[in-house]
Amino acid sequence: MGQKELDGFFEKFLQQDPLFVNKKALQGNYTPKNLPHREDQINLIAGVLAPALRMEKPSNIFIYGKTGTGKSLCINYISSYLLTIAEKNNIPLKIIYLNCKLKRVADTEYRLIAQLTREFGVEVPATGLPTEEIYKLFVKQVDKEKLLLILILDEIDQLVHKTGDEILYNLTRLNTELTNSEVTLIGISNDLLFVDNIDPRVKSSLSEEELVFPPYNAMQLQGILRQRAKLAFRKDVIDEGVIEKCAAYAARDHGDARRALELLRVAGEISERKNENKIKVEHIDEAEDKIERDRVLEQVNSQPKQFKLTLYSIFSVCSNTNNNGHPIFTGDIYEVYKDACQSCGLKPLTQRRVSDIIAELDMLGIINAKVISKGRYGRTREIRLAIPSSTIPKINDTLKEGLGL
């Protein structure tokens, strides 16, 4: 782009009325004034938590629901409400929200407690102390303040999956060690089968109250999208069918409202970038591609080298055998992977480890790996790519760059 065209571009950009008036309304952490289709859940949670205002310990709650069903949103909504009322009436209530998936913040037992302790204004080292020590510090601090603590642990299933369910036992036992304060736990899990796998003793005390957030259906998603779109966009910038398509896309994979909103936002950004004055249906497709690509790129880039190399190997095996799309197996990938290691001077990992990496890639949704038995010919993972093939070249380039190939 020469300078003249650039001038023209900026001029035109400025002249154009922006599509967005308040982009925040489409962002994941935005809490709207009312949450449609979640009245029942909100009432139930509010009912359980209400005793807190009388300084009585509310029951522990366990909340299930897939991503984007509004769990965190509802909890945040209620807790900010609860906090304002508590403040008005001088009730010593503290609510801590922690997402257990956040890397290097709360993804291990030590870090979780350390982070909680920090919430009380005590600086604790990131590592180096025994876990027991950090528990003591935390308990001491909570007890000193003499309050009611509501602890919201989002994505707690991830934490337990990683560190074992001992941590839940320790958490539920916190109250027995506290004399002046009390702790209520609110666990949020994406995995509906999560509690089936934990110690029954812990289970009964952790899920005194249980609550499921069902996925939104397409109609509900449309309602939500309309509500937010009204806040986010200028009037009449959304073409017909756009909302419906967004909702349909999101409803297709388990009614994820967050995804629907993101789709709409990115579509808006795309059409704005193209200097168009309306969001059209085809922008949704582009947005979906872009979101998928960005998601994968972000995940891949935050992973170690061996991880990238494994993914690279999968890509190359896939593109070699792409004809009639027949599936590929762990063994194939490991062979290619070993060669790839040699050509970029890395020491190959054992097959055991690569097998785990493949499982992790599956968890991230980059590939689909299904364990199958081929009878006499053994047992292995059947691997397929789970991302649109249009996004692969770009990802592959990034991988190569990262690996110096």
Partner DNA sequence: GTCAATTCACATGAAAGAGACCACGGTCTAGTG
Partner DNA sequence: CTAGACCGTGGTCTCTTTCATGTGAATTGACGA
Q: Which residues of this chain interact with DNA, rule CB under 7 A?
A: 103-104, 107-111, 125-131, 303-304, 306-307, 329-332, 334, 347-353, 355-359, 371, 373-381
Least spacing, CB of residue 200 vs DNA, in Å: 18
In the complex with DNA, the residue whose CB is nearer, 130 or 200, is 130
Least spacing, CB of residue 217 vs DNA, in Å: 32
Least spacing, CB of residue 253 vs DNA, in Å: 23
DSSP 119-166: HTT----SSSS-HHHHHHHHHHHHHHH--EEEEEEETHHHHHHHH-TH
Helix or strand or coil: residue 100?
Answer: coil
Task: Judge contact between 184 and 57, C-beta under 8 A.
Answer: yes
Least spacing, CB of residue 62 vs DNA, in Å: 23
In the complex with DNA, the residue whose CB is nearer, 287 or 385, is 385
Least spacing, CB of residue 41 vs DNA, in Å: 32
Pairing of strands 61-65, 182-189: parallel
In the complex with DNA, the residue whose CB is nearer, 171 or 224, is 171
In the complex with DNA, the residue whose CB is nearer, 151 or 357, is 357
In the complex with DNA, the residue whose CB is nearer, 55 or 371, is 371
DSSP 167-212: HHHHHHTHHHH-SS-EEEEEEEES-TTGGGGS-HHHHHHHTSEEEE
Q: Which of 200, 215, 322 is nearest to 258 (CA)?
A: 215
Query: Rounded to 5 degrees, what angle do the CA atoms 332, 388, 330 make?
Result: 15
Task: Judge contact between 255 and 231, C-beta under 8 A.
Answer: no
Least spacing, CB of residue 131 vs DNA, in Å: 4
Task: List Cβ neighbours of 6 (8 Å cut-off, separation of 6 or more).
Answer: none
DSSP 236-259: T-BPTTHHHHHHHHHHHTTT-HHH
User: How many whole angstroms separate alpha carbon 271 and alpha carbon 284?
Assistant: 10
In the complex with DNA, the residue whose CB is nearer, 24 or 370, is 370
In the complex with DNA, the residue whose CB is nearer, 14 or 193, is 193
Least spacing, CB of residue 159 vs DNA, in Å: 11
In the complex with DNA, the residue whose CB is nearer, 2 or 304, is 304
Least spacing, CB of residue 317 vs DNA, in Å: 12
Residues linked to residue 372 through DSSP beta bridges, in sequence order: 380
DSSP 28-87: TT---S--TT-HHHHHHHHHHHGGGGGT-PPPPEEEEE-TTSSHHHHHHHHHHHHHHHHH
